[in-house]
Amino acid sequence: MTEESQSTGNGRGTTAAGAESLSVTDNRTGQSYEVEIEDGTVRAMDFRQIKVDEDDFGLMTYDPGYSNTASCRSAITYIDGEKGILEHRGIPIEQLCEHSSYLEVAYLLNYGRLPTEDELNRWTYEITHHTYVHENIKNFMNGFRHDANPMGMLQASVGALSTFYPEAQDIDDEYQRHVAAVRLIAKMPTLAAFAYRHSLGLPYVYPDNDLSYAGNFLSMLFKMAEPKYEPDPRLEKALDVLFILHADHEQNCSAAAVRVVGSSRVDPFSAIAAGCAGLYGPLHGGANVAVLRMLQRIGTTDNVPDFLEGVKQGDERLMGFGHRVYKNYDPRARIIRSHVDEVLEATNKESPLLDIAIELEKRALDDDYFTSRKLYPNVDFYSGLIYEALGIPTDAFTVMFAIPRTSGWMAQWMEMMDDPELKIARPRQIYTGPRDADYVPIDER
Ligand code: CMC
């Protein structure tokens, strides 16, 4: 930023050096400044030069919830929230769901391009052969109460993995980064399935290397006494598509948590455990649980109008609706919706909750309260119905989100590690508390 007493622009809003710029006048001092605009963005640190006098700290920007602050440059995921577009490395999500597989998408996110056939085979082999966890992790899982929330178990055990792989602390080593990504993507379904079986008091099922990533996960969840679990290909495909849809979503709460924690140069297992914690919350990955509970509470389609009235009065929130970025139909919700019927057919189930969800969507999209606020179904609106049909307990839904999101978190972490502008995350605050207060001895309070 340059300080100026008059505009130095060339008439097209550019600096003398030709860069696009913003002119700011500080009405406290009458001083004008020229701030460079790059990629539609101004640098917050440029405003620090704006001071009333030499002792002034300088101007800060205030942005609770980071609604309008870009925290990094990223080439992983592109979202156009107004148009409802989602692309990974430039490829539309619709094409990935139709032609790709979750493991291929995980490679794409982490390594920046689609793999060749050899690369994909090697990657799949590596992931498949890292699915086992140390037996002590199993013992660690056994320590949880029988009714422990599976997501709580998952985040704790992912954090615990960092103690099993101390070499992962060598975060500048390319190989260590790669093998940590492989381990995390490979072991997440194992940990998730162990957490699920623990909650039911069932013995843990070890990974089956003959099965696909999704097929093996179904086996670890549902295999009983049969010598070999044969996954239904329709469920395997639907689960793989769900995994693709949840793989990454740029700088959301959990990805931001991974980057913030990772910026301290902690190992990736610990950074991903922070991502799990972020995802756990009901406004983020926990929303799929909240949606199902909401549908159960509504009970029948007849109760939908009253429920929506409660939402409009501010007594309720329509879970699975609305998004910080999408101001249009979430493209992931559209794809998930198209798989619900197929899963119900494969599992031979009827879902009265689906009728309630359809009625809610129809009425909400016909109501000015929702349309004027651009509230549309998001990824969580229909995903819970598929998980329910698969026989996943409601408490374990967020774990189903965490499994695929691991590839996105790792991609965000890897990209951050190579960012020349990386600094430890350390936001500022506006202090509102007292100053110069004196300590009061306890017997005088
Ligand atoms: N039901 C009713 N009203 C809503 C909803 C909702 N689901 N979402 C937003 N609004 C209203 C909100 O009350 C506000 O109204 P007003 O302007 O009158 O105060 C307006 O819409 C703007 O909402 P906001 O809370 O300022 O928006 P945000 O960007 O801070 O919140 C959100 C985004 C996703 C947290 C929010 O839409 C929400 O709570 N949705 C329900 C939870 C949910 O489905 N979360 C999953 C998100 S997608 C998956 C993921 O990323 O994890």
Determine the pLDDT at residue 19. Answer: 84
Domain identity same for 402 and 328: yes
Determine the pLDDT at residue 416. Answer: 98
Determine the pLDDT at residue 10. Answer: 39
Domain identity same for 22 and 118: no
As a three-state string, the secondary structure of 23-88 is EEEECCCCEEEEEEEECCECCHHHHHHCCCCCCCCCCCCCCHHHCCCCCCCCCCEEEECCCCEEEE
Domain identity same for 48 and 151: no
Evaluate whether residue 285 is within a structural domain.
Answer: yes
Over residues 34-63, the pLDDT tens digits come to 999 999 999 999 999 999 999 999 999 999
The one catalytic residue among 88, 249, 323, 339 = 323
86, 289, 313, 324, best to mutate for ligand 1 pocket (most atoms within 8 Å of CB):
324
Does 308 contact ligand 1 (Cβ within 6 A)?
Answer: no
Does 379 contact ligand 1 (Cβ within 6 A)?
Answer: yes
Determine the pLDDT at residue 8. Answer: 34
Determine the pLDDT at residue 27. Answer: 97
Does 319 contact ligand 1 (Cβ within 6 A)?
Answer: yes
Evaluate whether residue 442 is within a structural domain.
Answer: no
Contact 326, 79 (CB under 8 A): yes
Helix pair angle (253-262, 397-417), 10° resolution: 40
Domain identity same for 165 and 295: yes
Distance 320 CA to ligand 1 centre (A): 9
Residues written for the chain: 445
Instruction: Decide which of 62, 94, 113 is a domain's last residue.
Output: 62
Query: Ligand 1: which residue has its CA nearest to atom 18?
Result: 373
Domain identity same for 21 and 149: no
Evaluate whether residue 127 is within a structural domain.
Answer: yes
Distance 322 CA to ligand 1 centre (A): 5
Whole-angstrom distance, CA of residue 377 vs CA of residue 387: 17
Element holding 91 (H helix, E strand): strand 91-92
Domain identity same for 222 and 293: yes
Determine the pLDDT at residue 16. Answer: 65
Domain count, the chain: 2
Instruction: Decide which of 22, 37, 62 is a domain's last residue.
Output: 62
Evaluate whether residue 57 is within a structural domain.
Answer: yes
Domain identity same for 226 and 95: yes
Domain identity same for 10 and 157: no
Determine the pLDDT at residue 11. Answer: 42
Evaluate whether residue 439 is within a structural domain.
Answer: no
Query: Ligand 1: which residue has its CA nearest to atom 50?
Result: 284
Evaluate whether residue 349 is within a structural domain.
Answer: yes
Give the residue numbers spanning the domain of 261: 72-421
Determine the pLDDT at residue 286. Answer: 86
Determine the pLDDT at residue 419. Answer: 97
- In 3D space, the residue among 193, 191, 185 whose CA is nearest the CA of residue 223 turns out to be 193
CATH of the domain at 292: 1.10.580.10
Determine the pLDDT at residue 223. Answer: 96
Does 375 contact ligand 1 (Cβ within 6 A)?
Answer: yes
What is the reported pTM? Answer: 0.91
Over residues 360-391, the pLDDT tens digits come to 999 999 999 999 999 999 999 999 889 999 98
Domain identity same for 217 and 274: yes
Domain identity same for 110 and 58: no
Does 378 contact ligand 1 (Cβ within 6 A)?
Answer: yes
Contact 207, 216 (CB under 8 A): yes
Task: Give the CB-side neighbour count of residue 244, counting CA atoms within 13 A.
Answer: 29
Question: Within the chain, which residues score under 70 in pLDDT?
Answer: 1-17
Domain identity same for 287 and 404: yes
